[in-house]
């Protein structure tokens, strides 16, 4: 019997050993343990065929079909593992810690590896991750109108040794209708949750954690509701920045792209912006007058921001942004003790 380990031991070991996900490619794409490599026992079509055989013909026939499928691929599994493995100890998981991970662990052991299988599989990991979101965290929510420099401030806070949970960084999206521009493809919500969990594992829940103010969705992904509720109930510092400074920052962040990307983003919010104003923005973009186009769009986002701020359970502390961001960060850090003692 090959050894199995529980989720807590798995999490302890996974940063030191290669982690192998043996589920199908589509399962892996939807969400996986961050840092793991996919060596699927079955392709998506093969998995479907084995499942159909199980339902129609029973377990024995399904196993026979599975063996017929994987037989010619056994050496390929080992070759792929040799490319990924950084030591002889490898951590292996499938969906429930059943036949797929057991079969691959057996094969890996025959090839000289020391596989450790996650008991309960990825399902156990997901359950553990989601339960962690209900733990109490000492969030300090960094708010401010679009273009206030919140992302830059979070980066500097992290450089200064502060605990930071960068949701937009994990989501590959900056939150607005324009937030997808110049970003990598977004993960699925399931995997976004896994990324949040992995970050929280590295942070001390008893100490303050800086986090940017967000709606529950960031582009196409959603913040875990338990985390979002805690954000809504946490103290907020609202950065108040000059409109010219904000426009300048947004022009730097968003205009180094195909102008059609900007137009497509305006079209996403044209009903909320107003059809006339949206067309004005598009005309300005086509003419290259990007600064004025940004100012028009900010009228909508500023209105939305003011409403969101009014819904806070704890009245935000407004903090003016003047001068150097590093100086501002030092001032923010000095306020921390007033928020959490």
Average pLDDT, the chain: 92
Name all domains of the chain by residue range, CATH numbers in brackets.
4-129 (3.40.250.10), 133-339 (3.40.50)
Cα-Cα-Cα-Cα dihedral of 316, 317, 318, 319, to 10°? -140
Which pLDDT does position 51 carry in this prediction?
Answer: 85
Residues above pLDDT 70, as percent of the chain: 99
C-alpha–C-alpha distance, residues 188 and 267, integer Å: 24
Which pLDDT does position 323 carry in this prediction?
Answer: 67
281 is catalytic: no
CB 69 within 8 A of CB 50: yes
Q: How confident is the model at residue 199 (pLDDT cuts 50, 70, 90)?
A: very high
Q: Which one of the listed residues 39, 50, 78, 94 is annotated catalytic? A: 94
Q: How confident is the model at residue 15 (pLDDT cuts 50, 70, 90)?
A: very high
CB 20 within 8 A of CB 180: no
- Checking if the pLDDT of 309 tops 80, the result is no
Which pLDDT does position 97 carry in this prediction?
Answer: 93
Model confidence over 253-293: pLDDT tens digits? 887 888 899 999 999 999 988 999 999 999 999 998 999 99
Q: Determine the average pLDDT of the residues in 220-241.
A: 94
Q: How confident is the model at residue 341 (pLDDT cuts 50, 70, 90)?
A: low
- Name which residue leads in pLDDT, 35 or 252: 35
| Residue 307 neighbours by CB distance under 10 Å | 9
Tokens representing 142 are 């960094």
Sequence-distant (6+) residues with CB within 8 A of 224 are 130, 133, 193, 196
- Name which residue leads in pLDDT, 338 or 91: 91
Tokens representing 102 are 């057991």
Report pTM. 0.93
| Residue 260 neighbours by CB distance under 10 Å | 10
CA angle 180/183/185 to nearest 5° reads 85
Model confidence over 143-165: pLDDT tens digits? 999 999 999 999 999 999 999 99
Q: Determine the average pLDDT of the residues in 27-56.
A: 93
Q: Which of 208-222, 225-239, 288-302 bottoms out in mean pLDDT, i.e. has the lowest? A: 288-302
Tokens representing 82 are 């040799």
């Amino acid at each position: 019997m090959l050894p199995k380990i529980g989720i807590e031991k798995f999490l302890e070991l996974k940063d030191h050993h290669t982690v192998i996900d043996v589920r199908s490619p589509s399962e892996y794409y939807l969400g996986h343990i961050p840092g793991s490599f996919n060596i699927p026992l079955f392709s998506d079509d093969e998995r479907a065929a084995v499942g159909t055989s199980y339902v129609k013909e029973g377990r024995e026939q399904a196993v026979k079909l599975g063996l017929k499928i994987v037989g010619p691929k056994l050496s390929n599994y080992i070759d792929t593992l040799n490319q990924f493995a950084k030591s002889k100890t490898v951590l292996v998981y499938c969906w429930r810690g059943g036949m797929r991970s057991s079969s691959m662990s057996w094969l890996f052991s025959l090839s000289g590896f020391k596989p450790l299988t996650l008991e309960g599989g990825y399902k156990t990991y997901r359950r553990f991750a989601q339960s962690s979101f209900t733990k109490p965290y000492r969030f300090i929510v960094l708010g401010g109108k679009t273009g206030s420099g919140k992302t830059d401030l979070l980066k500097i806070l992290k450089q200064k040794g502060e605990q930071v949970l960068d949701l937009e960084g994990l989501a590959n999206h900056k939150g607005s209708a324009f937030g997808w521009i110049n970003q990598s493809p977004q993960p699925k919500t399931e995997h976004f949750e896994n990324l949040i969990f992995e970050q929280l594992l590295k942070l001390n829940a008893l100490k303050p954690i800086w986090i940017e103010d967000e709606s529950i969705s960031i582009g196409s992904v959603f913040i875990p509701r338990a985390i979002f509720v805690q954000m809504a109930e946490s103290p907020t510092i609202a950065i108040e920045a000059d409109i010219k400074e904000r426009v300048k920052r947004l022009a730097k962040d968003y205009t180094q792209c195909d102008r059609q990307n900007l137009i497509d983003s305006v079209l996403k919010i044209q009903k909320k912006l107003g059809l006339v104003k949206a067309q004005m923005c598009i005309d300005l973009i086509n003419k290259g007058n990007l600064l004025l186009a940004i100012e028009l769009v900010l009228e909508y986002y500023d209105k939305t921001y003011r409403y969101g701020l009014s819904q806070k359970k704890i009245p935000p502390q407004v903090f003016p942004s003047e001068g150097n961001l590093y100086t501002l960060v030092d001032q923010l850090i000095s306020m921390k003790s007033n928020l959490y003692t």
